[in-house]
Amino acid sequence: MSSVSVRDIVQAVKGQAQGNENLVIEGAAGLDEATGCDISFFHNMKYVDSLEKTKAGAVLIPEKTVSGELPEGKTWIRVANPQWAFAQVLGLLYKDRQRHPQGIHPKAVIDPSAKIAPGAHIGALAVIEAGVTIETGVMIYPGVYIGARSRIGEGSLIYPHVVLREDTDVGARVIIHSGAVLGADGYGFVAQNGRHQKIPQIGRVVVEEDVEIGANVAIDRATTGETRIGAGTKIDNLVHVAHNVQIGRDCLITGQVGIAGSARIGHRVTMGGQVGLVGHITVGDGAIIAAQSGVMNNVAPGEILFGSPARPHREAMKLQAIFGKLPEMYDALKQLKKKFLS
């Protein structure tokens, strides 16, 4: 782990310091856990009590925070977006923490027809099949499997035990975490004479630039054509994306979401944990689907849904409130029946 001065942090995050710019920061932590050599951040008034009590040596705060609200004896760094600034500081502090593979390990198994650009790094026991293209700056950790005719774009990072099946296309600056499988066969079967016959899955998976894919994610290849993940989309651990799904740009998809085949997801869509989508529906740009919702029908752009089956958020909240009163309502109904029907 590196250390960095407040002055260097201010330059990196384009902030303004109030306090000791020579203070050396050696770590980062939350407001409640931080010590005098740590930096923390404050972005929500819910945590104002923690801000007043924090022992952090320096704190990133919003530009418009009133000075009178700030405890004395701290170094404050005013920035437009404290969360973003904190992420940049973490990068400065922990840049030497991770040791990526360097060069091509002699125990990597690489087909002679694969095209490996200068500056690519491949770890031990990685397997690179025929016709693969790996561009410059790619880092492939040990134990990764890259299937035939696949491509990995410039600067992408592939962690241990990732599987990219044949014909998978990964764009630039993509991060794929351990255990993810891209390009497994889609769940395609047809009934014939009472038996389920497999439909060959001959399509591919395309991942555009700046996507991050979490651990143990499964993205199935298309039956024909392609399953596509749009640029800038971030997919959490344990998500399943079925065959022929199209996901737009800059979406946020959190843990245990399941998206059935041929669903189309627009741009900047947010899905909470354990959301389930049936196949062949469309989710419009900017829609938000709350955790554990079951989506059975098309979703309009910008709509906010909750519940199973998913409903507009306000309607779902009203229904939840009514459900909580059902025992009381039932007791009242029994009293009315007893009074008028007995």
Q: Cα–chain-centroid distance for residue 205?
A: 18
Query: Beta partners for 271?
Result: 253, 289
Determine whether 280 is an active site residue.
Answer: no
Please say whether the beta carbons of 306 and 288 come within 8 A.
no
Question: What's the order of all strands across the beta sheet hosting 27-28?
Answer: 16-18, 75-79, 58-62, 38-41, 27-28
What gap in Å lies between CA 180 and CA 69, rounded to an integer? 46
Nearest Cα to 211, choosing from 262, 167, 260, 177? Answer: 177
- Considering the candidates 43, 121, 196, 243, report the single residue annotated as catalytic: 243
Query: Which residues are CB-contacts of 6 (< 8 A; sequence separation ≥ 6)?
Result: 17, 19, 20, 21, 22, 23, 24, 25, 58, 75, 77
Residue type for position 77: I
End-to-end CA distance of the chain: 79
Nearest Cα to 184, choosing from 255, 114, 143, 242? Answer: 242
What gap in Å lies between CA 206 and CA 306, rounded to an integer? 30
Count how many Cα atoms sit within 13 Å of the Cα of residue 254 in the half-sphere of its side chain: 12
Helices (H), 109-263: none
* Residue found by looking up tokens 């031990």 in the block: 124
Residue type for position 243: H
Three-state DSSP class for residue 137: coil
What gap in Å lies between CA 132 and CA 103, rounded to an integer? 17
Q: Cα–chain-centroid distance for residue 228?
A: 16
What gap in Å lies between CA 122 and CA 221, rounded to an integer? 25
Catalytic residues: 243
